[in-house]
Amino acid sequence: MIGPPGAGKGTQARLLSGRFGVPQISTGDMLREAQQARTPLGREAQRFMDEGRLVPDDVVIGIVDRRLRNGDVVGGFILDGFPRTVAQAEALDAILARGGATLDRAVAIDVPRAELVERLAGRQVCRSCGTMYHRTLDPPTTPGTCDRCLGQLYQRDDDREEVIERRLDQLAKEVAPVADYYRRASLLRRVDGTGSREQVLGRITASLAA
Ligand code: AMP
């Protein structure tokens, strides 16, 4: 799944993961876990993430390489937020080739910029289970509390408005070459990311078969 922050990559990857029974592999989630656990990797990634910049390729590629050695990926997997650079896309090809696997599809979710800013600035995440909410567009039943696990909701540091603008600029520059990379390999499917999550899921599922 590729696309700017706020396009719904995480939400859609989770829905697809449930539908197809394959793991969702999110580099953003893995980096945030490393940060919370205060591992050396987490500390290294923190300063990039707090400023809305991409974490260096070798760090992220290392994480994905280790994750794809886990036995649960043999029946398939959904990568969410990776690759974000051409170097990462090339490294992914090499990692998959080592296991005799190939990528089936690259799905790019398109959402207009003004809507992305609105979505990100109101986003709240459950500290315990990672479920996403939006203060006005998709609020929890009780403000500040997760409907699914009663965990506490918080705003990610990189969802502050001044950081959002930088993340979106960064992504506009970085994501286009990755989309091109997969367009050339005939793997790219572009999906309209506006509307309800069910509508978007329907478009993605249709695009996977196309
Ligand atoms: P996300 O949750 O996908 O929006 O990612 C949050 C932050 O983690 C990004 O703004 C980056 O700083 C970092 N990050 C996640 N995935 C990658 C990646 N594939 N390459 C570089 N940085 C990443």
Q: 53, 105, 135, 156: which is the annotated catalytic residue?
A: 156
- Contact at 8 Å (CB) between 163 and 170? no
151 SS3 class: coil
Identify the residue with better confidence: 108 or 5.
108
* CA neighbor of 156 nearest in space, from 138, 139, 134: 134
pLDDT higher than threshold 80 for residue 172? no
Query: Tell me, what's the pLDDT at 170?
Result: 76
Query: Tell me, what's the pLDDT at 84?
Result: 92
57 SS3 class: helix
> Does 123 participate in catalysis according to the annotation?
yes
**Token pair of 165, please?**
């603008």
Ligand 1 pocket mutation, candidates 25, 49, 57, 174, criterion most atoms within 8 A of CB: 49
User: Which residues have any ligand 1 atom within 6 Å of their CB?
Assistant: 5, 27-28, 31, 48-49, 52-55, 60, 81-84, 88, 158, 167
Query: Tell me, what's the pLDDT at 36?
Result: 86
Query: Tell me, what's the pLDDT at 207?
Result: 94
Q: Which of 50-54, 62-66, 75-79, 152-156 comes out lowest in average pLDDT?
A: 50-54
Mean pLDDT score, 35-51: 88
Q: 67, 84, 119, 189: which is the annotated catalytic residue?
A: 84
Q: Give the tens place of pLDDT for each residue, 114-143.
A: 898 888 889 999 998 888 899 988 899 999
Identify the residue with better confidence: 35 or 158.
35
Residue in this structure with the two tokens 């790019």, named with its chain if needed: 108
Q: How confident is the model at residue 104 (pLDDT cuts 50, 70, 90)?
A: very high
> Does 190 participate in catalysis according to the annotation?
no
**Token pair of 13, please?**
């990857």
Query: 122 C-alpha vs ligand 1 centroid, how far in Å?
Result: 19
Residue of the CA atom closest to atom 6 of ligand 1: 28
Residue of the CA atom closest to atom 8 of ligand 1: 28
Q: What is the pTM for the complete model shown? A: 0.85
pLDDT higher than threshold 80 for residue 174? no
pLDDT higher than threshold 80 for residue 63? yes
Q: 14, 67, 123, 203: which is the annotated catalytic residue?
A: 123
Residue of the CA atom closest to atom 12 of ligand 1: 49
Query: Tell me, what's the pLDDT at 124?
Result: 93
Number of other residues whose CB lies within 10 A of the CB of residue 43: 11
> Does 167 participate in catalysis according to the annotation?
yes
Residue of the CA atom closest to atom 4 of ligand 1: 5
Alpha carbons within 13 angstroms on the beta-carbon side of residue 16 total 27
Q: In sequence order, what DSSP letters do the residues of 152-172 get, joined into one string?
A: BEE--GGGSHHHHHHHHHHHH
pLDDT higher than threshold 90 for residue 206? yes
